[in-house]
Amino acid sequence: MEETTICRICFEPIINFLCTDCLSKTISRWLSSQDKQLLVEYQKFNSFLLNFFSSDEQEFCVKCKRKSNTILCPYCYTNEVFWWLFTKNINLAKKFAYLFNFDFLGTGFYPHAKTRNLKPIIITEDQDNFNEIGICESCGQLSENLKKENGLWLCESCREEG
């Protein structure tokens, strides 16, 4: 009987393992087009993360077909990168959350996962009244109720203060 691969952070099973090297290469490519200085910091952060979660066990990556000894699920890895990036550059973190969406904002795109009573998005021409999940451009907090006000995406608290 074959053992199930378990993520070292969330302890959830990983069915189709995608190694952190493949993920970090993709993130590095994206980050190099956004902020080259931050790319250097990311590489240091990534090395720390890989060393911290390194183990004697190895798992086969479905993308690169190599074995990796850092066994993290894509959700946990990108979540760690997101929060690191959040401390460095909130706007880039928001872009990252959009592009590398493994649902760490908790929107529940997986049909069997517990969701928050999601409603369909209604596309309108009035983008100023559109609610969005993301990071407030004033206080930097995650919000499920961002609205564009005076050219900035603001959470409910910041809109009330303004």
Taking the CA atoms of residue 53, residue 58, residue 61 and residue 64 in that order, the dihedral angle to the nearest 10 degrees is 100
Tokens found for residue 160: 């009330």
**Is 108 inside a domain boundary?**
no
Same domain, 27 and 83: yes
pLDDT tens string for the chain (162 positions)?
A: 467 788 888 888 888 888 999 999 999 999 999 999 999 999 999 999 999 999 888 898 898 899 999 999 888 899 899 999 999 999 998 888 888 876 655 554 444 444 444 454 444 445 455 566 778 888 888 888 888 888 888 888 998 887
**Is 76 inside a domain boundary?**
yes
Amino acid type, 52: F
Domain total for the chain? 2
Segment holding 60, helix H or strand E: strand 54-60
* Residue 22 exposed, middle or buried by CB count within 10 Å (0-12, 13-18, 19+): middle
Stated pTM of the model: 0.63
Same domain, 127 and 95: no
Give the 3-state secondary structure of residue 6: strand
What is the total residue count of the chain?
162
Q: What is the pLDDT of residue 109?
A: 45
Same domain, 97 and 132: no
